[in-house]
Amino acid sequence: MSDDKPLRRSKEEQTADISEAQIAVHWPEEDYFSPSAKFIAQANLTDAGVFERFSLDRFPECFREFADLLDWNQRWEKTLDTSNPPFWRWFVGGKLNACFNCIDRHLARHKNKTAIHFVPEPENETVHHITYQELFVRVNEFAALLRDFCGLKTGDRVTLHLPMVAELPITMLACARLGVIHSQVFSGFSGKACADRAVDSESRVLITMDAYYRVGKLLDHKEKADIAVAEAAKEGHKVHKVLIWQRYPGKHSSPTKLVEGRDVIVNDLLKKYRGKRVEPAPLPAEAPLFLMYTSGTTGKPKGCQHSIGGYLAYVTWTSKYIQDIHPEDVYWCMADIGWITGHSYIVYGPLALGASSVVYEGVPTHPDAGRPWRIAEDLDVNIFHTSPTAIRALRRDGPDEPAKYHHHFKHMTTVGEPIEPVVWKWYHKMVGKGEAVIVDTWWQTENGGFLCSTVPAIHKMKPGSAGPGIPGIHPVIYDDEGKELPAGSGKAGNICIRNPWPGSFQTIWKDADRYVNQYYARYCKDRKSKDWRDWPYMAGDGAVQAADGYYRILGRIDDVINVAGHRLGTKEIESAALIVAEVAEAAVVPVADPIKGKVPDLYVSLKPGLKASKEIAGKVSAAIVSEIGAIARPREVVIVPDMPKTRSGKIMRRVLAAISNRQDPGDVSTLANPEVVDKIKELVK
């Protein structure tokens, strides 16, 4: 980064001593790559006039174009209601159903078309091609079960802890049909993490699967449901029912016993609902569609609440024009539906457009790094979407693999972390065979869909840069004093969005104050103002804008670590470490990693009289895995004699991060205990 000063916050606000943005790499400006004439000739959006159409003078009415891609039971009266900032209400008065828009409306013309290709991880298992008609039947029957057996109704929350199987979108869409708010928890998260989310959302029903494949092993997943229910009970919350899908219908694949009166095998019970149909409920545009929990600056994950109308309109428009999805395309987003990317760009966006969407159960490099290219060749996938972490792993394990297969992508996406130009170029040349356009899409769980990206047939691509704001999104970079940093200033600052947009989350579930304070308070010009211009949205990322208007995202400026494109809160990890009885203090720092982008290193000090040992380090690591999940497992647990501290007793994470990243910790003479720095350096060596 050219200047780290603007990223530094005032003393009171400063919670982390080092941010991801501050350890961001220095990438040189790259040359442009142009989209091919062949791509442009077929693209959904080629008219550069779109930016005029979505200029700020036309805000908010320009977004009607987004909502017009959907079928409405009742048209909206007001495009945007700003009477209670920053709680924006989109398409007020409108009524629609998300499930109807993703399934029913395609039946007349496309009922025989594949909606979901489910690809099991074991390569000898057949791929399931679920047509729109079959999806319609399965979603209806399951919706009937949710309504009649579970008693679920519009507005209730249900927690899903499902792996990457077709039953996950089926469950989500069945909820959407009824107006039940789904809250899917990433299957790799622990039972405890699932419990915390079920408690916060007050879900009485938990939907899971007995087992799923990961790296060649059939994992027992049902055991996590037992832990989740027990942990929720400890927090005073009762989960009444656990619905269990079977990975192999008719066979129970988990050694964990069923709990009588609580656990139900969905595949058995569904027989009672054969042939049942459920009318899609016409719901207000601003009713919630789902919650997606994400890490923030405090210990507790926050439930981002997304709406039906604004969200669905946003992901549908961006799927059509940024992903360039046509109804005849086979589209594969290799993310997990347990994250926002999968919600928006495996399920809701592609299905709203009537495309065929691939759901792959396993890891990309299993059994070898040629797997994704075999899947793409067999299914004739022509749009591919993944993360820099996956691209780095595929490049490391099989740099020449893509050349062995006859797949042809017209379009590829990268999302979730900054991508190194050298990795981008491999993706373009080898995976895309020099033919595919690439969009580097920057956005967040909170945003619903893409914020910055090139429009693939209009802009040139620049490796390592996300690009300008998409049509209708007007980003701005502010320094700490709230001064705008113009394009080409060479200075990094805090990226914000000037205007509301339909895909944005509506609030944090049960925590409206946190919604206002975390995203809007910092740069709000007047807390009493009803004018949206006074309420820029602060993303929490450091960024620079080049003279050509392209934004390059540097990383988080707060206490969040982005591991392999997944957000983890430092407080969450530290409080998990503190559960171990021997631990006195814990501090986690982000470390640059060649595959995962960033990984956490954990420093702990022990209670007086205790000696460092491998056992204690192992216990700390295990505590983090059981509290959060394997994704948060630290690269190293370093047991230090003492934490480097300021004279006022604050742990200097900046010093620890510098040591972990092999950087110079700078002047440490003002610390209360400068001598400890060399001792820690010695330990880390």
Q: Which is nearer to ligand PRX, 553 or 676 (CB)?
A: 553
Q: Which is nearer to ligand PRX, 589 or 616 (CB)?
A: 589
Q: Which is nearer to ligand PRX, 393 or 466 (CB)?
A: 466
Q: Which is nearer to ligand PRX, 103 or 568 (CB)?
A: 568
Min. distance of Cβ 298 from ligand PRX in angstroms? 16
Min. distance of Cβ 223 from ligand PRX in angstroms? 26
Instruction: Summarize as ranges the residues that interact with ligand PRX (CB under 6 A).
Output: 294, 339-341, 415-418, 440-445, 466, 539-541, 553, 555-556, 562, 565-567
Distances (CA, A) of 231 to 57, 162, 574, 623: 51, 18, 19, 15
Min. distance of Cβ 563 from ligand PRX in angstroms? 10
Q: Which is nearer to ligand PRX, 357 or 447 (CB)?
A: 447
The candidate with the shortest Cα–Cα distance to 411, out of 387, 428, 391, is 428
Q: Which residues of 194-216 are buried (b: 16+ CB within 10 A; e: fewer)?
A: bbbbbbbbebbbbbbbbbbbbee
Q: Which is nearer to ligand PRX, 196 or 226 (CB)?
A: 196
Contact 466, 441 (CB under 8 A): yes
Interatomic CA distance for residues 285 and 63, integer angstroms: 14
Min. distance of Cβ 505 from ligand PRX in angstroms? 11
Q: Which is nearer to ligand PRX, 13 or 77 (CB)?
A: 13
Q: Which is nearer to ligand PRX, 401 or 417 (CB)?
A: 417
Min. distance of Cβ 542 from ligand PRX in angstroms? 9
Contact 437, 411 (CB under 8 A): yes
Q: Which is nearer to ligand PRX, 273 or 450 (CB)?
A: 450
Min. distance of Cβ 197 from ligand PRX in angstroms? 15
Min. distance of Cβ 467 from ligand PRX in angstroms? 9
Min. distance of Cβ 504 from ligand PRX in angstroms? 13
Min. distance of Cβ 291 from ligand PRX in angstroms? 14
Place of tokens 């957000």: 567
Q: Which is nearer to ligand PRX, 341 or 621 (CB)?
A: 341
Q: Which is nearer to ligand PRX, 178 or 431 (CB)?
A: 431
Interatomic CA distance for residues 391 and 162, integer angstroms: 25
- Annotate 431-495 with three-state secondary structure: HCCCCCEEEEEECCHHHCCCCECCCCCCCCECCCCCECECCCCCEEEECCCCCECCCCCCCCEEE
Interatomic CA distance for residues 529 and 85, integer angstroms: 8
Please tell me whether residue 120 adopts helix, strand or coil conformation.
coil
Interatomic CA distance for residues 657 and 673, integer angstroms: 17
Q: Which is nearer to ligand PRX, 201 or 494 (CB)?
A: 494
Min. distance of Cβ 337 from ligand PRX in angstroms? 13
Contact 440, 460 (CB under 8 A): no
Contact 93, 77 (CB under 8 A): yes
Q: Which residues contact 673 (CB under 8 A, 6 or more apart)?
A: 642, 644, 645
Contact 397, 369 (CB under 8 A): yes
Interatomic CA distance for residues 548 and 466, integer angstroms: 12
CA atoms within 13 A on the CB side of 669: 1
Tell me the β-bridge partners of 583: 606
Min. distance of Cβ 541 from ligand PRX in angstroms? 5
Please tell me whether residue 183 adopts helix, strand or coil conformation.
strand
Interatomic CA distance for residues 138 and 128, integer angstroms: 14
Min. distance of Cβ 294 from ligand PRX in angstroms? 5
H-run or E-run covering 206: strand 205-209
Distances (CA, A) of 450 to 144, 287, 413, 465, 657: 34, 22, 11, 14, 30
Contact 1, 24 (CB under 8 A): yes
Q: Which is nearer to ligand PRX, 27 or 51 (CB)?
A: 27
Min. distance of Cβ 133 from ligand PRX in angstroms? 32
Min. distance of Cβ 341 from ligand PRX in angstroms? 5
Q: Which is nearer to ligand PRX, 20 or 156 (CB)?
A: 20
Interatomic CA distance for residues 437 and 443, integer angstroms: 19
Contact 601, 636 (CB under 8 A): yes
The candidate with the shortest Cα–Cα distance to 504, out of 315, 298, 295, 336, is 315
